[in-house]
Amino acid sequence: MAVRRADFLMALAYATDLATGHARDFALRSCVLAVRFAQTAGLDQNMQRKVYHQALLRYIGCNADTHLLAAAWGDEIALRRELHHIDMGNREQFVQTFIRAITRKLAGASPEELAKAIERGLAEGAQVNIPILSGHCEVAQRIAERIGLPEDIRENLGQIYERWDGKGLPRGLSGEAVKFPVRLVTLAQDAIALLDQVGFEAMKSRIAERAGGAYETELAELFLGHSEKLMSGLDGPVDRETILAIEPLPHAMLDETECEQAYLAIADMIDMRMPFTFGHSRAVAALADAAGKRMGLPAADMRALRWAAYTHDIGELAIPVSIWMRAGTLTERETDAAHLHPYHGERALLPLGGDGRSVAALVLRHHERLDGTGYHRYAKASDLSPAARILAAAEAFQTAREARPYRPGVSDAAAASRLRADAREGRLCAEAVEAVLASAGQPARRNTADRPSGLTPREVEVLRLIAAGHTAKEAARQLDIAPKTADNHIQSLYSKIGVTTRAAAALYALERGLVQERFSAA
Ligand SMILES: [Fe+2]
């Protein structure tokens, strides 16, 4: 197998657009604009490659230390959304943006408290922001290295907030010390953000006002001279094929090992957003991988399962960290937003095509439950493959063990009994649960999982036989009981599990892993 690396870049771009409060396809649209602009400026293929990657990846490090940003300024996505439109070298605009952030964070505080917080925030703002922004640059470079990007592309990611006039952060570089692709992409991305915010004509005025400040005058003039053509069609979404088509040669391909590394890099990027999720995706992947092997999943399913485990929470980037960090319960609106993260996860991973489609399908279902009580599609057992069931169980076990600001973590034993209760009550697949627990070193307790819905051991035996296609008479013969007794068992178990047909009983047995049990016991 081989995958275009550009597909991974698009997945990362989608996720970082969400995390930074940008509009849909922001990075993709800015990539098209930046490449067109580079061509207009007469840059060669090598420079165009740098521009292409800078536009797609500029914000991939911005997940680092998000909890510190949220602790200082509250809703970090709202703050970032505002920062995209202002001229960050304009002190008045910059200060006002942070005052609004503090005001949002302290909604309901007294005027005195608010005034004190603003005074303190503005005095300490640089101390808070500069190390965070430095971290973003460094992390972006490391992630880029892990997805196989060369040094000349990575070095530009170390300058993402620098400006022509030296008023950028964190190093205050100026003039040509700021690399040309960085300068060009900064202008292109500001143009897209301003187009969305204030429209085409006002965007041009803002770019003109910033010439000689945020951007070198010549570059701003070149852009303004061709802006109509450069921006044509960029007020709407951009598709995957367009981004693949404009990638300057050579087109990098990733083999299976390189894909594994790229997925793992995404896992770490997701988890480093908050200290309490650190290592979460790796741990879920290790559990899921071991459980999948125990259950004998085919190689292709194993690969998709592991990659989905690495990336299952990529859609969480759409939800402000400030929500997760709060000790209280979520509002209804926040819960709705949180429940949509599997959707965003699927959407982010879809560009990956091929195997990536299986990965996206698993990510979409990682919070679904067999009985339809999960989210966000309320899928049911028939829509949940063995890999989906394992991922759901591994995620539930690992998450229960981890502490969150709004609840403590529980012991392995407590997490295990919680999962077994979920299996008994028909939410999680018993076989997947036992496979995950065995992988986590929990002692097996198969009897409980074997007899869901209060079935007696004999009813389970009858159920397994009829699920495997035997008639009541054949089941009676195999179990050495009277046909009438077998009939009675069937009526009793049907009523306990809430079905009226053999087919539905067979499906129930599949859902609970009872058929599998029978084969593995044989
Ligand atoms: Fe999740």
Q: How many helices (H) and strands (E) does the chain have?
A: 29, 2
DSSP SS3 for 253: strand
What is the bridge-based pairing of β-strands 253-254 and 3-4? antiparallel
CA 418–ligand 1 middle distance (angstroms): 18
Instruction: Give the distance between the most distant pair of CA atoms in the chain.
Output: 94
Predicted confidence (pLDDT) per residue in 172-211, tens digit: 899 999 999 999 999 999 999 999 999 999 999 999 999 9
Alpha-carbon distance of 247 to 253, in angstroms, equals 12
Q: Which residues lie closer than 8 Å to 208 by C-beta, 6 or more apart?
A: 220, 224
What's the pLDDT score for residue 396? 97
CA 313–ligand 1 middle distance (angstroms): 5
DSSP conformation letters of 375-428? SSS---GGG--HHHHHHHHHHHHHHHHS-BTTB----HHHHHHHHHHHHHTTSS
Is residue 157 within 8 Å of 140, Cβ to Cβ? yes
Is residue 329 within 8 Å of 427, Cβ to Cβ? no
Predicted confidence (pLDDT) per residue in 287-310, tens digit: 999 999 999 999 989 999 999 999
Average pLDDT over residues 163-167: 91
Predicted confidence (pLDDT) per residue in 92-123, tens digit: 888 898 889 889 888 888 889 888 988 888 88
DSSP SS3 for 475: helix
What's the pLDDT score for residue 507? 65
Alpha-carbon distance of 359 to 263, in angstroms, equals 10
Ion ligand 1 — residues with CB under 5 Å? Answer: 313
**Quick one: CA dihedral 481, 485, 487, 492, positive or negative?**
negative
Examine the pLDDT at 447 and tell me if it is beyond 50: no
Predicted confidence (pLDDT) per residue in 230-271, tens digit: 999 999 889 999 999 999 998 999 999 999 999 988 888 888
Banded model confidence at residue 149, pLDDT cuts 50, 70, 90: very high
Alpha-carbon distance of 254 to 9, in angstroms, equals 12
CA 407–ligand 1 middle distance (angstroms): 16
Q: How many CA atoms lie within 13 A of 1 on its CB side?
A: 16
CA 281–ligand 1 middle distance (angstroms): 10
Average pLDDT over residues 53-74: 86
Please provide the distance, in angstroms rounded to a whole number, between the alpha carbons at the two ends of the chain: 36
What's the pLDDT score for residue 87? 85
Average pLDDT over residues 45-69: 89
CA 401–ligand 1 middle distance (angstroms): 14
Is residue 486 within 8 Å of 471, Cβ to Cβ? no
Examine the pLDDT at 444 and tell me if it is beyond 70: no
**Quick one: CA dihedral 201, 202, 203, 208, positive or negative?**
positive
CA 340–ligand 1 middle distance (angstroms): 9
CA 62–ligand 1 middle distance (angstroms): 20
Examine the pLDDT at 521 and tell me if it is beyond 60: no
Alpha-carbon distance of 269 to 288, in angstroms, equals 20
CA 108–ligand 1 middle distance (angstroms): 31
Name the pTM for this structure. 0.79
Alpha-carbon distance of 289 to 270, in angstroms, equals 19
Examine the pLDDT at 368 and tell me if it is beyond 70: yes
Alpha-carbon distance of 149 to 103, in angstroms, equals 41
Predicted confidence (pLDDT) per residue in 398-414, tens digit: 999 998 888 899 999 99
